[in-house]
A = this chain, B = another copy of it.
């Protein structure tokens, strides 16, 4: 499992007085960076062989300004050419949001999606929740 600590920023609040919902997809993208790094250790942006196909977020409770968030991230499922990353955001010992992201492997040599090579598959498996 990967963990990321985030301090909410004031400009991330909205007029309801809480963290705006649209901010969470950005936090979850940030929490997936160690996953991107598995596929692209140098983090040279142009070489990342992943495409984001889908995201889902469940907003479980209000997220407040003034207390840190812990984001837990793991691999939920590994398919042929895609895999699912799962996230939970916790604040003050409550789960405040859950999310999933479907990432597709993009084969630069064929310029389309393709089977996730075994070298990456092995790495992803180490982050399956049951592991």
Contact = CB atoms under 8 A, between A and B. Distances in A.
Contacts of A10: 14-15, 20, 29-30, 33, 36
Given A22-B11, A29-B21, A56 B59 contact: no
Contacts of A46: 16
A93 to B, nearest CB: 19
Interface of A: 7, 9-11, 13-18, 20-23, 25-26, 29-30, 33, 36, 43, 45-46, 51-59, 65-66
Contacts of A33: 10
B59 A52 contact: yes
A6 to B, nearest CB: 10
Contacts of A13: 14-15, 20, 45
Pick the 6 closest A-B CB pairs, nearest first. Answer: A13-B15, A22-B26, A15-B45, A22-B25, A11-B22, A11-B20
A65 B13 CA distance: 14
A61 to B, nearest CB: 10
Given A14-B15, A53-B58, A45 B22 contact: no
Contacts of A7: 30
A65 B26 contact: no
